[in-house]
Structure 1
Amino acid sequence: MIFFLTTLITFVCMECVTWLTHKFVMHGFMWYFHEDHHQPQYKSWFERNDVFFVIFAIPSIVLFYVGLQGGLNYFFFIGLGILLYGMAYFLVHDVLIHRRFKWFNKTTNKYLIGLRKAHKVHHKHLGKEEGECFGMLFVPFKYFRM
């Protein structure tokens, strides 16, 4: 049970990490890598922004390794929480919102539609300043009512 809770708490905490990273790192000193993601004319399969998948994968991989040393321990389940969040991020951000893969094209789920609306508001700003809606899974309730 403690390992399940560790994974779940890590998953939820990753939303906070993502929000902070998106606002202060991606829209801050690492804007160079994130900028092409905000340019509608940029139509390549890969974006410089994809480097963040690698950056977020490294701690997960390290935690899996450390979590298997001397028997299974809680580091493994922290790494699992990060991995599961990364998978959710991929499915929501790259598949549902940006449609890099043509799956889930016609959702009627109000939660998923709200996530999509909030992200579109984020992308109406082409520069690194004046951004809003930096989260991915938890966005303001107003986007679910519209």
Structure 2
Amino acid sequence: MTILAAAGITLTTFAFMEFWAWFMHKFVQHGPLWVLHRSHHVRHPHPVERNDLFFLIYGGISAALLITGDDGGRWWFWVGVGIAAYGTVYFFVHDVLIHGRLRFWKKSKNTYLRALNMAHKTHHKTSGRDGSAEFGLLWVSPRYLHWPANKPQTKRRRTAALWNSQG
């Protein structure tokens, strides 16, 4: 397996996982597996949710592909790497940044990350199975990208803008 092929399979898998996550979230987690996903839409004092089983499912699939992939010699090893990479990004963006399940990463000032947060808050406006919007993780509707940019300036920003305009 060439490095270029391995990188291509990994990146393609990572990109596909965004579509797959959206599809599964919208049609399966808010459908027949709502019994597991519901725990993510209600407040509770527990550090672990039934919804976390989805992480174990995808982690298990990724691990099986990595273990049987002949240390990179088989194409499915790199599919496992792509799934694991997406799962890692998902964990840090969704669980750590958006939901604050670990307190080491505070809210970001980055426009894209703030837009992701707003889209996710839109998704959580309903606590029920139906009526939610915004099922993806990394792809953000352009309307959310405009919101953080249009947010009023903080006092520090206004002061800096005034200072810079005075030469």
Kindly provide the amino acid, as one letter, of the partner of residue 50 in structure 1.
Answer: D
Candidates 31, 38, 42, aligned match of 2:41: 38
Q: Where do 5+ consecutive residues of structure 2 fail to align?
A: 148-167
Kindly provide the amino acid, as one letter, of the partner of residue 22 in structure 2.
Answer: W
Instruction: Give the aligned partner of residue 20 of structure 2.
Output: 17
- The one of the two structures with greater contact order (alpha-carbon pairs below 8 A, sep at least 6) is 1
Instruction: Give the aligned partner of residue 113 of structure 1.
Output: 114
CA distance in 2 between counterparts of 1:113 and 1:139 reads 10
Kindly provide the amino acid, as one letter, of the partner of residue 26 in structure 1.
Answer: Q
In the TM superposition, what is the alpha-carbon distance from 1:66 to its structure 2 partner? Answer: 2.3
Are 1:65 and 2:67 counterparts?
Answer: yes
Instruction: Give the aligned partner of residue 50 of structure 1.
Output: 52
Q: Secondary structure at the match of 1:130?
A: coil
Candidates 4, 9, 14, aligned match of 2:7: 4
In the TM superposition, what is the alpha-carbon distance from 1:93 to its structure 2 partner? Answer: 0.5
2:97–2:107 CA contact under 8 A, matched in 1: no
In the TM superposition, what is the alpha-carbon distance from 1:67 to its structure 2 partner? Answer: 1.1
Deviations 1:77-109 (A, max 9, x none): 000000000000000000000000012214111
Q: Secondary structure at the match of 1:29?
A: coil
Kindly provide the amino acid, as one letter, of the partner of residue 6 in structure 1.
Answer: I
Which structure has the bigger radius of gyration? 2
Candidates 27, 31, 51, aligned match of 2:30: 27
Could you list the structure 1 runs, at least 4 aligned residues long, displaced by more than 6 angstroms after superposition: none
Are 1:122 and 2:118 counterparts?
Answer: no
In the TM superposition, what is the alpha-carbon distance from 1:74 to its structure 2 partner? Answer: 1.2
CA distance in 2 between counterparts of 1:48 and 1:17 reads 20
Q: Where do 5+ consecutive residues of structure 1 fail to align?
A: none
Taking every aligned residue pair, what percent have the same amino acid on both sides? Answer: 42
